Structure 1
Amino acid sequence: MPDTEKTLVKIDKLDRKILEQLQKDGSLTNQQLAEKVGLSPSPCLRRVRALEEAGIIVRTVTILDHKKLGLSLTAIILIGMDRHTPERFAAFEEQVGEYPEVQECYLITGQSADYMLKVVVPDMDHYHHFLLNRITRIPGVSGVHSSFVLRRVIDSTALPLGYLS
């Protein structure tokens, strides 16, 4: 089901506080979370489970420092496709989904490209290999434009919950 067809889930101020705290630190224990949002542990846990069941909390992850792991180069790649068919797009998406270097993949509009990828690799040699031996070999890829991140100015996974009532 496309995202536009999903039903919005209403949350209250306490749910928003819970979500804000979990976005800051997903490793909080239920006891710590309850204290931060002003609830006792049992109702706090019930709310977190309800947010999970509603699909608002999708998963909890650990964010790693890419540079300390030797992954120093981040590239933004704009990719053009030769045909705009569901089959061509599905095959491309399935293929890039298998590449661990791809952190994000978006089907986009408003550019002279169909997809935007965020890719993380150790260095330019690895990027060159990734581009020539993976991306350009995917059937249907007709154009590639690469940009390289010089500095991460804002690097956040938190959603802006202030818009929610």
Structure 2
Amino acid sequence: MAEAAAIALTALDRKILRALQEDGRMTVQAIAERVGLSASPCLRRIRQMERAGIIAGYSAVVEQKAVGLPVSVFISIRLERQRSHELDAFGAAISRWPEVMECYLMTGQFDFLLRVVCADLGAYEQFLRERLTQVEGVASIESSFSLGQVKYSRVLPL
């Protein structure tokens, strides 16, 4: 990832990235036409951005309700102490749990903010009792349930 800083994105690179973010299955030919390039230089730019770590990967966006995971819970965690090894230990513990979709180290009142998905309230209770409350050093857990999603985007404003 150190290489990413060495690459200055051009306006053309940004157009390519916008196209890929909007439709990751778009062919190189379609992207090239959209941004006004021929396919070979377009592919070269894409490969360069992949090697530099600017393009981190490709994936399908799956609708969580459609696969039986309609509940989103935002969990604020405060640790007993904020020493580096304790922050790392908490991060290592939660990184193994597939229910945790996102985790952020925070400033302010709480140390971590998590987004967890689950099938229902019972599944969340099980996650809370069997996993989250078992992590050493957790001082407090505050859960907020999402009533609905107003906006969700993985497209960066390039």
Give 5+ residue unaligned stretches, structure 2: none
Equivalent in 9, 13, 17 of residue 15 of structure 1: 13
State the alpha-carbon separation in 1 of the partners of residues 77 and 86 from structure 2: 13
Alpha-carbon deviation of 1:33? 1.2
Q: Which residue identity does 1:108 align to in structure 2?
A: M
Percent identical among aligned pairs is: 44
Q: SS of the residue aligned with 2:33?
A: helix
Q: Which residue identity does 1:53 align to in structure 2?
A: R
Alpha-carbon deviation of 1:8? 6.4
State the alpha-carbon separation in 1 of the partners of residues 78 and 96 from structure 2: 19
Alpha-carbon deviation of 1:135? 0.5
The count of aligned residue pairs is 157
State the alpha-carbon separation in 2 of the partners of residues 107 and 31 from structure 1: 40
What is the match of residue 69 of structure 1?
67
Q: Are 2:127 and 1:123 aligned?
A: no
State the alpha-carbon separation in 2 of the partners of residues 13 and 87 from structure 1: 42
Q: SS of the residue aligned with 1:7?
A: helix
Alpha-carbon deviation of 1:10? 1.4
1:1-165 to 2 correspondences below 5 Å: 7=5, 9-110=7-108, 112-161=109-158
State the alpha-carbon separation in 2 of the partners of residues 92 and 54 from structure 1: 29
Q: Which residue identity does 1:139 align to in structure 2?
A: E
Q: Which residue identity does 1:92 align to in structure 2?
A: F
Task: Give the TM-score normalised by the residue count of structure 2.
Answer: 0.95
Alpha-carbon deviation of 1:63? 0.6
Q: Which residue identity does 2:41 align to in structure 1?
A: P
User: Using a 3 Å threshold, how does the CA distance of structure 1 residues 122 and 26 change in structure 2: closer, same or farther?
Assistant: same
